[in-house]
Structure 1
Amino acid sequence: MAGLPPAVIELVHAGARALRDGQPQRAEPLLLRAGAQAPSHPEPLRYLAILQLHTRRAPMAMQTLQRALTLTPDDALLHCDLGTVQSACGDIDTALASWHRACKLEPAQPMPWFNLGRNLQQLGRTDEAIAALREAITHAPDMLPAKILLGDALVHAGRFDEAVSQYRDALRLQPACGDAWRGLSNIKTRALDTDDARMLETQLQRRDIADSDRVAIGHALGKLHEDQGRHADAHAAFIAANALQKRLTPWSRQAFEQFVARALTATEALPAPIDADLGRQVIFIVGQPRSGSTLFEQVLAAHPDVEGASELPYLGIVIQQESIRRGVAYPQWVPQATAADWHRLGRDYLARTARWRAHKPRFTDKLPENWKHAGILRAMLPGASVIETRRDPLETAWSCFKQQFYSQPHFGNDLGDIAAHIQGSERAMDVFRGRAPARIHLHRYEDLLADPESRIRALLDDCGLRFDPACLTSHEARRNVRTASAAQVRQPLRHDTARASAYGALLDPLRAALEQSR
Structure 2
Amino acid sequence: MAFSSFYFYHENKQLNTMLLLDRATELLLENRLREAEFMFKQVLKQNPKNGKALFGLGRICMRLEQYDNAIYYLKRACEHLPKMLDPLYALADAFIAVGSPVDAKTVLEYALSVARHNAQIHYHLGQFYLDHGFIDNAYQVFQKGLECPSSGVSIFIIFELMQLAPTNEIPALMEKLTEFEGKYEHPKFQIIAYHAFATAHQALGEYKEAFEFYDKANKLQLEQCEFKTADMVPFFNRLLETCNSDFFDKPIDKVKSTFTPVFIVGLPRTGSTLLEQILTQHSQVGSIGESIIISDKIVPYLEMRTERDFPECIYETTTSMLDYCRSVYVDEVKKNRVQEEAVINKLPANFQNIGLIYKIFPNARFIHLTRDFRANAWSVYSNHFAENEPYFCSLTEFQLYADIEQQVMEHFSSHLNKSIFHVSYETLIDDPERTIQKLLNFIYLKYEPECMDFYKSRSKVSTLSKTQVRQPIHSRSLTRWQAFETYIEKELGQLTPKKN
TM-score, normalised relative to structure 1: 0.85
Question: Aligned-pair distance for 1:121?
Answer: 4.1
| 1:246 corresponds to 2:222 | yes
| Secondary structure of the structure 2 residue equivalent to 1:389 | strand
Aligned residues: 489
Counterpart residue number, 2:204: 228
Question: What pairs with 1:56-67 in structure 2 (closer than 5 Å)?
Answer: 56-67=31-42
Counterpart residue number, 1:465: 445
Maintained 8 Å contact 1:394/1:511:
no
Counterpart residue number, 1:42: 17
Question: What pairs with 1:494-513 in structure 2 (closer than 5 Å)?
Answer: 494-497=474-477, 498-512=479-493
Out of 80, 98, 109, which is 2:55 matched to? 80
AA aligned opposite 1:179: F
Counterpart residue number, 2:408: 428
| Secondary structure of the structure 2 residue equivalent to 1:353 | helix
Counterpart residue number, 1:198: 175
Distance 1:196 1:314 in 2: 40
Distance 1:130 1:437 in 2: 44
Distance 2:142 2:294 in 1: 32
| 1:377 corresponds to 2:357 | yes
Counterpart residue number, 1:160: 135
Question: Aligned-pair distance for 1:347?
Answer: 1.9
Between 100-109 and 128-137, report the one with greater CA deviation.
Answer: 100-109
Counterpart residue number, 1:138: 113
Question: Aligned-pair distance for 1:90?
Answer: 5.0
AA aligned opposite 2:464: A
Out of 52, 57, 69, which is 1:94 matched to? 69
AA aligned opposite 2:23: L
Distance 1:315 1:165, change over 3 A: farther
Distance 1:292 1:123, change over 3 A: farther
Cα distance per residue 1:84-135 (max 9 Å; x no partner): 1333345444333321332355666533222112344466653332222223
Counterpart residue number, 2:370: 390
Counterpart residue number, 1:419: 399
Distance 2:494 2:360 in 1: 36
Distance 1:404 1:334 in 2: 34
Question: Aligned-pair distance for 1:397?
Answer: 0.7
AA aligned opposite 2:485: G
Question: Aligned-pair distance for 1:345?
Answer: 0.6
Counterpart residue number, 2:254: 275
Identity of aligned residues (%): 22
Distance 1:514 1:345 in 2: 43
TM-score, normalised relative to structure 2: 0.88
Distance 1:359 1:189 in 2: 41
Counterpart residue number, 1:214: 190
| Secondary structure of the structure 2 residue equivalent to 1:307 | strand
Gaps of 5+ in 1: 9-34
| 1:150 corresponds to 2:125 | yes
Distance 1:257 1:234 in 2: 32
Counterpart residue number, 1:30: none
| Secondary structure of the structure 1 residue equivalent to 2:130 | helix
Distance 1:119 1:263, change over 3 A: farther
AA aligned opposite 1:471: C
Maintained 8 Å contact 1:151/1:164:
yes
Counterpart residue number, 2:388: 408
Out of 236, 240, 243, which is 1:260 matched to? 236
Maintained 8 Å contact 1:391/1:444:
yes
Out of 298, 301, 305, which is 1:322 matched to? 301
Counterpart residue number, 1:287: 266
Counterpart residue number, 2:104: 129
Distance 2:365 2:79 in 1: 43
Counterpart residue number, 2:160: 183
Distance 1:436 1:412, change over 3 A: same
| Secondary structure of the structure 1 residue equivalent to 2:257 | coil
Maintained 8 Å contact 1:301/1:307:
yes
| 1:455 corresponds to 2:431 | no
Maintained 8 Å contact 1:282/1:385:
yes
Between 184-193 and 239-248, report the one with greater CA deviation.
Answer: 184-193
| Secondary structure of the structure 2 residue equivalent to 1:388 | strand
Question: Aligned-pair distance for 1:330?
Answer: 2.2
Question: Aligned-pair distance for 1:272?
Answer: 3.6
AA aligned opposite 2:415: R
Gaps of 5+ in 2: none
Maintained 8 Å contact 2:303/2:313:
no
Counterpart residue number, 1:52: 27
Maintained 8 Å contact 1:279/1:382:
no
Question: Aligned-pair distance for 1:176?
Answer: 4.9
Distance 2:436 2:79 in 1: 47
Maintained 8 Å contact 2:440/2:447:
yes
Distance 2:97 2:48 in 1: 28
Distance 1:117 1:192 in 2: 32
